[in-house]
Amino acid sequence: MKIYLAGPDVFLPDAIEIGRRKADICAAHGQSGLYPLDNKIDLTAPDASRQIFCGNEAMMDRADAIIANLTPFRGAGADPGTVYELGYMAGRGKLCLAYSNDPATYADRVSRFMNVTSEDGRLVDAQGLTVEDFGLVDNLMMIHAVELHGCPLVTPAEMPIDVWHDLSAFEACVRMAAARVSQ
Amino acid sequence: MKIYLAGPDVFLPDAIEIGRRKADICAAHGQSGLYPLDNKIDLTAPDASRQIFCGNEAMMDRADAIIANLTPFRGAGADPGTVYELGYMAGRGKLCLAYSNDPATYADRVSRFMNVTSEDGRLVDAQGLTVEDFGLVDNLMMIHAVELHGCPLVTPAEMPIDVWHDLSAFEACVRMAAARVSQ
């Protein structure tokens, strides 16, 4: 199947190389990986960002499945751009898979970034906003989206030393996608 | 039309009240607001988070449109749970509207949270990851999603004093939804 490879990987210094490695892993399991940076975009064009959006959307429409990298990005939660794509694919009825290389719960992770206190039985952050506390790795919408539109979120037993380049959890998702094809 | 009211508003201490205010604004413009907290959930049930997901998804499936509150939440970008819902509604072909009460560009906002430097013509954060720098208010996927699946993102000229309770930008979205109905 054709698998859209979503993630903040595109923001890495070696974004092209990580995309190639992911596509190679897909190929090794008989699947085809579609990586956003495979789209040819003129980054000097005034509408470059719109071209990227349209290229990504067309690529998602061609794909049968998504593997989203939900590893926390620039804060306590997943990259919103990636999460948008996961939602889009769920809405399109495609197979939804995802992994996060940080197995901590969302509530524990928020407390690394700011003071979290307990008020009237709910956790609240420094602004007084509720911190989701269901023992899940991230916001319940993404966690149950993959559970109910694909397979449960894949996380490692321990956070790997290099969260952006360790592809073990990614490969576990590819294996699950391949198993679906052979069913 | 039935409008799904997405946003981190559900995490506010007065989450119920803000939902009521949003629904009242919808009604004043002849529209019907559907607010996630209108779903009755047993929060003591072991599968409470899954019940919330399923309730929200069913509510989105009933809705004709979404108005997503993309005001930055617990960091430089929008709430991923809200963004998931925006993606889902775009995937379902529904009318997509959104607002953010912080009109700053994403790149400027990231630099409030961490050191951002320029390397080889791209902005990078403290981890060496690229900071999107298209002059947009948030990740390009959300910004162009609303532009191309609904109406351009609504932002105020200046950030209101109370970003979580000022509903002017929200009401502008409701007006645009109402205008679509009357077309």
**Do the Cβ atoms of A130 and B11 come within 8 Å?**
yes
Of B36, B73, B13, B64, which is closest to residue B180 (Cα–Cα)? B64
A74 touches chain B (CB under 8 A): yes
Domain map (residue ranges) of chain A = 2-102+139-182, 104-136
B152 touches chain A (CB under 8 A): no
Q: In sequence order, which residues have a C-beta less than 8 Å from that of residue A125 and are 6 or more positions away?
A: A110, A114, A115, A116, A131, B74
CA distance B78 to A104: 21
CA distance A29 to A167: 14
Can you give the pLDDT at residue A181?
85
Can you give the pLDDT at residue A182?
83
Radius of gyration of chain A (CA): 17
CA distance B92 to B63: 10
CATH number of A2-102+139-182: 3.40.50.450
User: Which portions of chain A are predicted below pLDDT 70?
Assistant: none
Query: Which structure tokens are listed for A153?
Result: 């979120």
Cα angle: A65, vertex A69, A73; to 5 degrees: 150
CA distance B123 to B116: 7
Can you give the pLDDT at residue B61?
98
Farthest-apart Cα atoms in chain A, separation: 53
How much is the ipTM here? Answer: 0.98
Mutation for B interface: A44, A83, A164, most B CBs within 10 A: A83
**Do the Cβ atoms of A139 and B80 come within 8 Å?**
yes
Can you give the pLDDT at residue B121?
84
Can you give the pLDDT at residue A35?
98
**Do the Cβ atoms of A86 and B86 come within 8 Å?**
no
Architecture of domain B2-102+138-182: 3-Layer(aba) Sandwich (3.40)
| Count of residues in chain A | 183
**Do the Cβ atoms of A145 and B84 come within 8 Å?**
yes
**Average model confidence (pLDDT) across chain A:** 96
| Count of residues in chain B | 183
CA distance A60 to A80: 16
Q: Amino acid identity of A183?
A: Q
Q: Which residues of A touch B56 (CB under 8 A)?
A: 141
Q: Are B84 and B139 a contacting pair, CB within 8 Å? A: no
User: Which portions of chain B are predicted below pLDDT 70?
Assistant: none
Q: Which 3-state string (H, E, C) describes chain B?
A: CEEEEECHHHHCCCHHHHHHHHHHHHHHCCCEEECHHHCCCCCCCCCHHHHHHHHHHHHHHHCCEEEEECCCCCCCCCCHHHHHHHHHHHHCCCEEEEECCCCCCHHHHHHHHCCCEEECCEEECCCCCECCCCCCCCCHHHHHHHHHHECCCECCCCCCCCCCCCCHHHHHHHHHHHHHHHC
Q: How many helices (H) and strands (E) does chain A have?
A: 6, 6
